[in-house]
Structure 1
Amino acid sequence: MKKLIFICLAIVTVLSSCSDNTTINQNEAGKVITNYLERNPEYKTTSFKFGELKFNSNKEREELNSYKNLAQEGYVDMILVSQKKQFLSSDSSYVYQVKLTDKAQEFVLKIENDKANVKAVNYVLSDKPVNFEQVNSKTSKVTVTLKKENTPFGPFQKDKNEFSDYITKTYKLKLDKEEGWKVDN
């Protein structure tokens, strides 16, 4: 009888030590997503014009102010090339030479002639809890809330007046024998 109890205890101990970690909880899922977003950030891009640009003060005043703000923050250099003031009119035109600086480099993804593809919005994991559903022992679906953080180039995006400060995104997690839980692309 003692032998049988000893064998049963030995089997239970061996089975519990050999079991792989196939379950995941909310905190672990949040850590997996956070690590993934550090390596693969979520962002929204926009087109940014530079070079010689003409601004008509009434029509393009907001855009000119956005360029001037970038210049004040050190992301672009702006040199006034020419200015035409209309007598007794508020509709004047200005021509500026706009050049990207080294400080803008972290936001620039691609440059073609007089346009650059830049990051306008970065999405970061919000403090809201992570929702997940374990589909089976090796896969899970995780839905997270990503809050929107505008970059200095945010004013140049086409949809400036979006009605939400966040997005929700669902990631598929897969259990890897060597690496543990990771995002499956």
Structure 2
Amino acid sequence: MKKYTYILVSLFIIAFSACKNVATINESEAGEVIVDYLKGNPEYKTDKFHFGEMRFNSKKDMLELEKYKTLANEGFISLALQEGKKKFLSKDSSFVYIIKLTDKASDLVLKQDDTKATVKVVNYELASEKPVNFSRVNDNNAKVTVSLKKVNTVFAPFQKDNNDNSDFITKTYRLKLDKEEGWKVNK
């Protein structure tokens, strides 16, 4: 009888010690939760992109036209010359282009009107070289600060505020423990 009691007690001890405590979290687990969250809810920066019938006159406009030609070469827009007035030895040349978005640009276009679209100019991804910094607020909550690196899209040259003071941003997320699903980002 004692033999069975020892076996039963030892089975209970093994069973309870084998159970993982879901309330514990470390840096790598917190990083995995953030990566999973960013797959479904990506971080990005947007700006306006103008298209349709556009006129290019001055030297400044010609620099803008080069940006459009680069996009056309990569297949994100179609660029068709509608009217071109090139004056011999004159700075008064004028070009009118019809600019249309192609299917290849659909992943980067968030909203579209008749002559402008809201496009992603920068995507932010979790920087693998910087560690995840987290602190436990209590048993069910944690605060995670991560470094997200900038990844420019093809529309990056069209952003109005192009302040490249850094190649990354830091963002803080709050994690909450769900008894059934484990740790997840609290919105």
Same fold? TM cut 0.5? yes
Q: CA deviation at 1:163?
A: 1.2
Task: Give the equivalent residue in structure 1 for 2:133.
Answer: 131
Give the letter aligned to residue 127 of structure 2: S
RMSD: 2.2
Secondary structure of 1:72's aligned partner: helix
Matches within 5 A, 1:150-169: 150-169=152-171
> What's the counterpart of residue 119 of structure 1?
120
CA contact (8 A) 1:58 1:92 kept: no
The alignment-based identity, stated in percent, is 57
Q: Which deviations, in whole Å up to 9, do the C-alpha atoms of 1:142-181 show, x marking residues without a partner?
A: 0000000111111111112321111000000010000000
Which residue number in structure 2 is paired with residue 46 of structure 1? 47
Deviation, 1:63, is 1.3
The CA distance in 1 between the partners of 2:95 and 2:78, in whole Å, is: 15
Partner SS state of residue 106, structure 1: coil
Secondary structure, in 3 states, of the residue corresponding to 1:159?
A: coil
3-state DSSP class of the match of 1:133?
Answer: strand
Segments of 5+ residues of structure 2 without an aligned counterpart are none
Structure 2 counterparts to residues 23-172 of structure 1, below 5 A: 23-127=24-128, 128-172=130-174
- CA distance in structure 2 between the aligned counterparts of 1:62 and 1:135, rounded to whole angstroms: 52
Of residues 23-32 and 78-87 in structure 1, the stretch that sits farther from structure 2 once superposed is: 78-87
Whether contact under 8 Å (1:42, 1:123) holds in the other structure is yes
Structure 1, unpaired ranges of 5+: none
* 8 Å Cα contact 1:58/1:91 also seen in 2: no
Q: Which amino acid aligns with 2:76?
A: Y
- Give the conservation status (yes or no) of the 8 Å contact 1:44–1:120: yes
* SS of 2:106 mapped into structure 1: helix
Measured in 2, the distance between the counterparts of 1:69 and 1:181 equals: 44
> Aligned partners of 1:144, 1:91: CA distance in 2, in Å?
51
- With over 3 angstroms needed to count, the CA separation of the structure-2 counterparts of 1:19 and 1:75, relative to structure 1, is closer
The structural deviation recorded for 1:10 is: 8.0
Give the whole-Å Cα distance in 2 for the aligned partners of 1:17 and 1:147: 38
How many Å separate the matches in 1 of 2:42 and 2:182?
21
After the TM superposition, which parts of structure 1 deviate over 4 Å for at least 4 consecutive aligned residues? Answer: 6-19
Q: Distance in 1 between matches of 2:14 and 2:137?
A: 28
